Amino acid sequence: MKTPVRSLLVLTLLLGPALPAGAAPDTGDALKPLPAGEWSHATAAHLLRRAGFGGSPQDVERVYALGLDGAVQGLLAFQGKPDTGMAYLNLTVHGRQPRGAYLGLSRDERRQKAQEWRRQDRMQFLAVREWWMRTMIGTAHPLRERMTLFWHGHFTSGYRDVRNSYHMYVQNALFRRYATGSFRELLTAVSKDPAMLEYLDNNRNRRGRPNENFARELMELFTMGVGNYTEKDIKEAARALTGWTFRQNEFVFAERLHDPGRKTFLGRTGYFTGDDVLRIILEQPATARYLARKTFRYFAHEQPDEAVVEALARVLRESDYELEPMLRALFRSQAFYSKRSMGTRIKGPVELVVGLYRTLELEPPAQPMMAILAQQLGQSLMDPPNVKGWDGGRDWITTSHLLNRYNFASAIVGQPRDKLRSVGRRFGGRMPQIEGGDGMQGEAGGMEGMDEMPPAERQQRGRALRRARYEQLAKESYDPLHEVRSRHLGDAEQIVDYFTARLLAAPAPQELRQALLQSLNRDRPFDPEARDARSRLHGMLRLLVSTPEFQLM
């Protein structure tokens, strides 16, 4: 296997410049639909990867058969439909402790009760993250979950500051409800969401002592972007947003905390409230452009032509910020299927984990570990590094994370049992901490009481649980031999072509194809009925998922 450092270099060379040689730049006609003659199994697979999380060969065939318009419509047609693929979640903690919960208790009893509530809430937080990962893997409506992930990275909130698992769940449900609906309604809803109000301190924004945190991020990260407002606009918006807070699990407008005075915001003057601020922001041309640019970069590639951005922004404005028309135009466009887009984006950890399970049609293990796997690869859902969320792109690829990616993917495609224990010991290192815990509570049986353990014992228990996770992955990993036999793939070339088409976002380079063939054939031609057929297939797949090409989507 290539070393992480060497693979980092190869991956950088693979990505190359923003505009590959021979690729025409997008023009003013960039939203022109892809010609019918260019719709192919490769473009169908690209649509599934980017507008969802990938799919099996049967999924690709089904989407291809629908044609471009039918495929896009099929992905978008989920509003109002239940999702039979959603994982089960049992919520036992429903917000903060009610007022008066500790009345009549001694100081020690109150402290003990508060500690127990925090412990239960941390356990539920880990369960919520696991539920979302499993929902992404099993969903019947992948674009809804893809957009929920997009909004989570856009309107960022984190458990470390929110400190309430139920509020994080409610925010996640909000993103899902407005996934491809009205951005106008989504912006209003998330601005009044308890998790957001807590995360950006607007619940402490009051007359005479305005807190500018939410007002600043509202304009910088959520709507217009830097350069389209002034510091004075931030101060005036913060005044207008005074009194927006929450009690228990509901938004409250505390009128006595609101500054009713005149404000001048983005060139307008009046007795503005928070709702007025949102309305004025949505009237700015910069808002539609900012959202269009960010959407294109998330789904297609990092450097859209300005003509593409303007065209998408125009669709957004003309639909009064309804998101579906903009997404429909994007997913039908030539720009979305260009050489600059297909197979050029580095998979995020969630995309890697969810995508591999969906592509190989695997059920997640019974042991709850999906969210922890993504966390060890660098993406801790519902606990991002800062208000900007995750930078993504090349930042996903560090030497340690790249090794973790190889080890995870190798375990999924069939790591031999005797090698798995060493993988479990190497994988991930020390677990990130959450609220004084070790980031592992509640993810499997035997977790109870870890907070009370001495550090050495807790570390030993953590290592044992990590080994158990990878042994479980081995038991339930992919069986390539069954696939080869059921599809009657008779020789090494057919097998390599099948798996590279299934697992790579672009055709395999000739050098890689030859290496995969040599891995299968070794000292004699590959025989699917031979005793070592399964081990040869596992070896070839481990080589395939350890390449820089596999890191791209």
pLDDT score of 167: 97
**Do 397 and 473 sit in the same domain of this protein?**
yes
Q: With respect to residue 59, please indicate whether it lies within any of the assigned structural domains.
A: no
Cα–Cα distance, 313 to 305 (Å, whole number) = 13
CB 487 within 8 A of CB 498: yes
**Do 424 and 353 sit in the same domain of this protein?**
yes
Sign, CA torsion 169/170/176/179? negative
**Do 511 and 534 sit in the same domain of this protein?**
yes
First to last CA, the chain: 21
Question: Where does a domain end: 424, 448, 478?
Answer: 478
Nearest to 91, CA basis, from 194, 197, 174, 168: 168
**Do 378 and 405 sit in the same domain of this protein?**
yes
**H/E element holding 287?**
helix 285-299
Question: Where does a domain end: 453, 478, 503?
Answer: 478
β-partners of residue 251 are: 246
Q: Convert 471-508 into a string of H (helix), E (strand) and C (coil).
A: HHHHHCCCCHHHHHHHCCCCCHHHHHHHHHHHHCCCCC
Structural domain that includes position 373: 346-440+467-478
Give, in degrees to the nearest 5, the angle at Cα 361 between 356 and 367: 75
Cα–Cα distance, 57 to 490 (Å, whole number) = 18
DSSP string, 197-253: HHHTTGGG-BTTB---HHHHHIIIIIIS-TTSS-HHHHHHHHHHTTTEEEETTEEEE
Beta-carbon contacts of 253 under 8 Å, excluding residues fewer than 6 positions away, are 243, 244, 245
Beta-carbon contacts of 449 under 8 Å, excluding residues fewer than 6 positions away, are none
**Do 491 and 391 sit in the same domain of this protein?**
no
Q: What is the DSSP letter of 548?
A: G
Number of domains making up the chain? 2
Beta-carbon contacts of 104 under 8 Å, excluding residues fewer than 6 positions away, are none
Nearest to 89, CA basis, from 125, 39, 50, 142: 125
Please name the residue ranges forming H helices in 333-454: 349-359, 370-376, 399-412, 417-426
Q: With respect to residue 412, please indicate whether it lies within any of the assigned structural domains.
A: yes
Provide the 10 A C-beta neighbour count for residue 357.
22
Q: Convert 108-169 into a string of H (helix), E (strand) and C (coil).
A: HHHHHHHHHHHHHHHHHHHHHHHHHHHHHHHCCCHHHHHHHHHHHHHCCCCHHHHCCHHHHH
Q: With respect to residue 413, please indicate whether it lies within any of the assigned structural domains.
A: yes
pLDDT by 10s per residue, the chain, length 553:
455 655 655 565 466 544 344 444 343 466 899 999 999 999 999 999 999 999 999 999 999 999 999 999 999 999 888 999 999 999 988 877 666 677 778 888 888 888 888 999 999 999 999 999 999 999 999 999 999 999 999 999 999 999 999 999 999 999 999 999 999 999 999 999 999 999 999 999 999 999 999 999 999 999 999 999 999 999 999 999 999 999 999 999 999 999 999 999 999 999 999 999 999 999 999 999 999 999 999 999 999 999 999 999 999 999 999 999 999 999 999 999 999 999 999 999 999 999 999 999 999 988 889 999 999 899 999 999 999 999 999 999 988 889 889 988 988 997 654 444 443 343 333 322 222 233 333 343 344 555 567 777 777 776 666 566 666 666 677 899 999 999 999 899 999 999 999 999 999 999 999 999 999 998 899 999 999 999 999 999 999 999 999 999 9
pLDDT score of 196: 98
pLDDT score of 160: 95
Q: With respect to residue 271, please indicate whether it lies within any of the assigned structural domains.
A: no
Task: Find where tokens 């000739």 sit.
Answer: 510
Cα–Cα distance, 307 to 97 (Å, whole number) = 52
Q: With respect to residue 525, please indicate whether it lies within any of the assigned structural domains.
A: yes
**Do 376 and 391 sit in the same domain of this protein?**
yes
Per the structure block, which two tokens stand in for 106?
């001694």
Q: What's the pTM value of the predicted model, to 2 decimals? A: 0.89
Beta-carbon contacts of 254 under 8 Å, excluding residues fewer than 6 positions away, are 206, 243, 245
Radius of gyration of the chain (CA): 25
Cα–Cα distance, 161 to 175 (Å, whole number) = 19
Residues composing the chain: 553
Question: Where does a domain end: 451, 478, 505?
Answer: 478
**Do 426 and 358 sit in the same domain of this protein?**
yes
Beta-carbon contacts of 537 under 8 Å, excluding residues fewer than 6 positions away, are 414, 480, 481, 484, 495, 520
CA distances from residue 242 to 197, 250, 388, 412 in whole angstroms, order as listed: 11, 16, 23, 51
SS3 60: helix
Q: With respect to residue 365, please indicate whether it lies within any of the assigned structural domains.
A: yes
Cα–Cα distance, 191 to 155 (Å, whole number) = 9
**Do 387 and 472 sit in the same domain of this protein?**
yes
SS3 182: strand
**Do 474 and 513 sit in the same domain of this protein?**
no
**Do 472 and 498 sit in the same domain of this protein?**
no
DSSP string, 419-471: HHHHHHHHSS-SPPPSTTS-S-TTSSTT-TTGGGS-HHHHHHHHHHHHHHHHH
Q: With respect to residue 504, please indicate whether it lies within any of the assigned structural domains.
A: yes
**Do 389 and 436 sit in the same domain of this protein?**
yes
**Do 406 and 508 sit in the same domain of this protein?**
no
CB 330 within 8 A of CB 296: yes
Q: With respect to residue 255, please indicate whether it lies within any of the assigned structural domains.
A: no
